[in-house]
A and B are shown apart, each in its own frame.
Chain A
Amino acid sequence: MRAGLLVTFAAMGVATYLTRAPLLLVLARRRLPAWLARYFAGLPIALLTALALPLLVFAPQGPRAWATDVPAAVLVALLARRTGHLLVAVAGGVVLVAALRALVG
């Protein structure tokens, strides 16, 4: 095992930890002003939207993936809304996307 690589990996781990720990440590021990609490109420919605949509729109397969992935995403949203079950919604979407990809080729 190359020692230089290990040191680099350890430094990368420190860089990762520096993005995870500071705000968790600081903000968990403070009483938040009401405006900041409202800001944090919006954060999960904004972050999950920003994580999800580009994965669909900018798929590595390009725009031809839209024909399979977008209908499956709509099904996931409908199932999640109707049933409230993550597993049911995600499984339904994966089955549909796999079937559509097999059909489209």
Chain B
Amino acid sequence: MSPDRFRPAPSSRAAAEAWAGIRDALTTVVPSIVAYGAVWGGLARQAGLSQRELVAMCLLVTAGTAQFVALPMLQAGAPAWLLVATTYVVNLRHYLMAASLAPYFAHLPRGRLAALAHGVTDESYALTMARFARQPAHPAYFAGAAGATYLAWYAGTAAGGLPGSRIPDPHRYGLDFVFPAVFIAILARSVRAPWQWAVAGAAAALALAVRAAVGGTWHIGVAGLAASALAVWLAPAGDPGVEPGPRAQGPAAGRPAPGEMAGGPPEPPG
């Protein structure tokens, strides 16, 4: 009997990975995204958007932070070019996230990459990098996590904009804490080697300094861009997590890819 008999078919593996992405999103970030979506929906109605307009904005813009920033600008009658430019600046951090996801999707055709690019968000990125540090990378996981976070955002915003709905207070139930908690949990699981501590320490110092001095979301891009440079000098060349990875291999390759966060031995999935 061939061992291949026990290997799952590509389609069933993709389905399992997509479900894993959906499950991980549902059990971590989705409740908070729905709550914040409802907050945004209520604020959007107060800013003068109709229910159809707020739904259209969510479907077209697909970026929660930028949408929160845009609401007071819309209310104040800001020009369209300023809204577009602000959206671009607020989302600049996605360049870095997309860059570090890219090596995992080396085998994908251009069209599928272009479609997956829509899914790059803070939450889907965090869940995906945590997963890929422990399991063989598969694009379906990313698609599942991103799809679940988007649906949560759409559901929350649409519900929050309905007439009669009250703007919820995520702070009261600790739902605002979910976002930093997910990021901290992933870091606590992953950061083990001295070079990883150095990168995290530098990023922490830079992010806090830039956030205090400039405000906005600049700290994410500046700290991400600058602190990662430490890895170029400090990460060991032979570290399997940072070697040029399985460029030509498929998603079932089962080897760590570049960008892996964990320097220590693999652990059971979380």
Contact = CB atoms under 8 A, between A and B. Distances in A.
Interface of A: 1-2, 4-29, 31-35, 37-58, 60-61, 69, 72-73, 76-81, 83-90, 93-95, 97-98, 101
Nearest to B175: A94
A41 B117 contact: no
A97 B260 contact: no
A45 B80 CA distance: 35
A52 B123 CA distance: 11
Interface stretch (B2-10, B62-70, B148-156, B158-166): B62-70
B18 interface: no
Interface size, B (range):
35 or more
Contacts of A35: 232
Contacts of A13: 60-62
A86 B185 contact: yes
Contact of B28 (A37, A87, A95): A87
B108 to A, nearest CB: 7
B185 A40 contact: no
A51 to B, nearest CB: 5
B105 A8 contact: no
B196 interface: yes
A16 B175 CA distance: 26
